[in-house]
Structure 1
Amino acid sequence: MADKTVLITGVSEGGIGSALSVAFHEAGLKVIATARNINKMANLADFGIETMALDADASKIKKLDILVNNAGAGYSHTAKELFDLNFWSAVRMIQVFLPLLMKSENSPTIINQTTVLSVIAIPWQSTYNSSKAALASITSSRRYELAPFNIKVIELKTALVASKFLDKPGVSESIVPENSIYAPAKSVVGNVLKKNPPNVIWRGETMLPERFVKDAINKVSHLNEIEKLIKE
């Protein structure tokens, strides 16, 4: 795997991008971990992982086999800001690095990180959910469009994992298993590096179908209280 290069966006200490960087590195790949703030990736220096501020250094990348579009946000932003980060940034990354992926003879792959909330309705998160649903949809289309060029397109659909993602302002707290982030990351890498990887990789604490959690969702989101006030 030493001749395979993977670029991961949205990497910061304690996040899924950081865990994936370590997992790919331990699998023997050359990892390029990227973020807008390079200081957020200082922990990766101990692993010997290359880091860069992607906005400034993208032109320096001359070889690429795997692109992981991990950057995203789930906290309170305007609809445009969330779509710019969760959807349009991934579209732009594919446009920029597609020429390098087309040159790869080493199982070129694109991985787009979405969420189970792209298929499960949760109140107060409609903009976030829809931005990820849009990414899930374009991932499926890109899979067909790039198949003739031997480029695999995988959707990484995650539920709750132990990361700092929920530390962002405006994101509700959830109870997740301690130190669970690296085991899922290693299993994701294992699936990605298979000869015939799955089109969609599901990881994280799975959620029950909506019909089983509707009452719980209404209670947690206080929608039941709002409904009572409206009817009074």
Structure 2
Amino acid sequence: MSSETVLITGCSDGGIGSALAIIFQERGFHVFATARDITKMSNLKDLPNITLLALDVTNGDTIKTAAASVAEKTGGTLDYLVNNAGHNHFMPILDENIEVTKELFDINVWGPLAVTQAFSPLIIQAKGSFVFVTSIAGYGNTPWMGTYSASKRSIEIIADHLRLEMKPFGVNITMVVTGAVVSNGQTYFGDFVLPENSLYKRIEDTIAARARGDDGHSRMPTMNYAAAVVDETTKRTGGKIWHGDYAEMVKSVNSPTVPQEVLVGLC
């Protein structure tokens, strides 16, 4: 393939991944768009220079198969890997089902790590870029989002360590700290309920509205967000970039004063 290549996880219709795929395709990339179910990517199936692949970030076999397919088509290289697939989650800490939260971490943390490991030979060969879509939720103590916030911050911390470890190999790492964006993430909670013995049962409707995005807060249009992210990631800026409504506000109160590279020598 002569054009640059990108693989994006979590490209089901109506989400951030689908929007990113469209923007990358418009910019001349060959896009490998992935989702657990290929039929959920109907918005992408007829676009030129997009290859649809089945990939479930929690299923090692599908990850290996996708990596082999990409390697065969590109001759063993990949310019960008965008770890976008994730799952939103709302629940008070005391009401959490531990098994459910383990599944959440499988999707939001261990899944992206497994995908990164599988595609690393292709990225290293291309001296390409890993991109991780994270969240401003990892920077604030927002009630009812504790385990989700922990999962998104966890993969960001892993990515930031990877950024340092990949420097000698010419590989770039970008973490997209994402604010409020219109996406399918708000569609998971139509049947949200708390346990009957929850301390917060009397405000169940309030929590459900927050989960569904019916809270009066603005959200950046998905395509606007995707265009901004592609603009910046293709500059190989590296490190953390902040996009989406409220992202800059969160950034302003969370920016470190000491570069991480300086801290490495102190550990």
Could you say which TM-score interval applies, normalised by the shorter chain? 0.7 to 0.9
Question: What is the match of residue 83 of structure 2?
Answer: 69
> Aligned pair 1:191/2:232, yes or no?
yes
**Gap regions ≥5 residues in structure 2:** 57-61, 72-76, 91-96, 193-210, 251-267
**Residue 90 of structure 1 is aligned with which of 97, 112, 124?**
112
Identity %: 36
Separation of aligned partners in 2, 1:117 and 1:53: 28
8 Å Cα contact 1:65-1:109 kept in structure 2: yes
CA contact (8 A) 1:161 1:204 kept: yes
Are 2:222 and 1:181 equivalent residues in the alignment?
yes
- Does 1:132 pair with 2:152? yes
Moved over 4 A (4+): 175-179
**What's the RMSD between the two structures over aligned residues?**
2.1
Structure 1 CA distance for aligned equivalents of residues 137 and 6 of structure 2: 26
The question of whether the paired residues in 2 share the 8 Å contact of 1:114 and 1:132 is answered with yes
**Aligned 1:41-52 pairs, distance under 5 A:** 41-48=41-48, 49-52=50-53
Is residue 249 of structure 2 the alignment partner of residue 206 of structure 1? no
Q: Residue 219 of structure 2 contacts residue 245 of structure 2 at CA under 8 Å; is this kept in 1?
A: no
Residues 51 and 176 (structure 1 numbering): CA distance in 2 closer, same or farther, change over 3 Å? farther
Could you tell me how far apart the structure 2 residues matched to 1:2 and 1:182 are? 26
Q: 1:160 aligns with which of 177, 180, 184?
A: 180
Q: Report the alpha carbon displacement of residue 33 of structure 1 after superposing the two structures with TM.
A: 0.4
CA distance in 1, matches of 2:139, 2:219: 26
Aligned equivalents of 2:164 and 2:245: distance in 1? 29
Higher mean alpha-carbon deviation, 180-189 vs 142-151, is at 180-189
TM-score (norm 1): 0.83
- Offset of 1:172 from its aligned partner? 3.2
Asked if 1 retains the 8 angstrom alpha-carbon contact of 2:180 and 2:218, the reply is no
Residue 2 of structure 1 contacts residue 28 of structure 1 at CA under 8 Å; is this kept in 2?
no
Letter matched to residue 102 of structure 2: K
Task: State whether residues 172 and 238 of structure 2, in contact with CA within 8 Å, keep that contact through their aligned partners in structure 1.
Answer: no
- More off after superposition, 124-133 vs 55-64: 55-64
**What secondary structure is seen at the aligned counterpart in 1 of 2:237?**
coil
Structure 1, unaligned runs of 5 or more:
210-232
TM-score (norm. length: structure 2): 0.72
Deviations 1:103-153 (A, max 9, x none): 11xx50000111001111111111100001101111110000001011101
The answer as to 2:27 corresponding to 1:33 is no
